[in-house]
């Protein structure tokens, strides 16, 4: 695989993780119960964080 294909793959994975995290957070914002906060903290935030970390890793791990 070429370098650009690897970067594209990592960026797509990062985008899916961030989108999934934002979707979970969007759904949970309607809830007022304590379980909504727990889902927000235990599912939404880690998904967004994982997406950001995968994106940053794809930038750092590029080999020319």
pLDDT digits (tens, 9 = 90+) for 8-59: 999 999 999 999 999 999 999 998 899 999 999 999 999 999 999 999 999 9
Torsion angle defined by CA atoms of residues 55, 49, 22 and 7, in that order, rounded to the nearest 10 degrees? 10
User: What's residue 49's pLDDT?
Assistant: 98
> What global pTM score does this model have?
0.89
Residue 11 in any domain: the answer is: no
- Of the CA atoms within 13 Å of residue 2, those in its CB half-sphere come to 3
pLDDT at 2: 84
- Domain residues for 25? 16-60
The number of distinct structural domains making up the chain is 1
Q: Classify residue 51: in a domain, yes or no.
A: yes
CA distance 54 to 40: 20
Whether 2 is covered by a domain: the verdict is no
**Is residue 13 within 8 Å of residue 53, measured between CB atoms?**
no
pLDDT tier for residue 64 given thresholds of 50, 70 and 90: low
6 belongs to a structural domain:
no
Q: What integer pLDDT is reported at residue 42 of this predicted model?
A: 96
């Amino acid at each position: 695989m070429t370098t650009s294909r690897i970067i594209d793959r990592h960026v797509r994975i990062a985008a899916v993780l961030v989108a999934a995290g934002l979707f979970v957070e969007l759904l949970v914002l309607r809830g007022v119960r304590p379980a909504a906060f727990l889902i927000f903290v235990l599912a939404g935030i880690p998904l967004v964080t994982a997406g950001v970390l995968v994106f940053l890793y794809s930038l750092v791990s590029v080999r020319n």
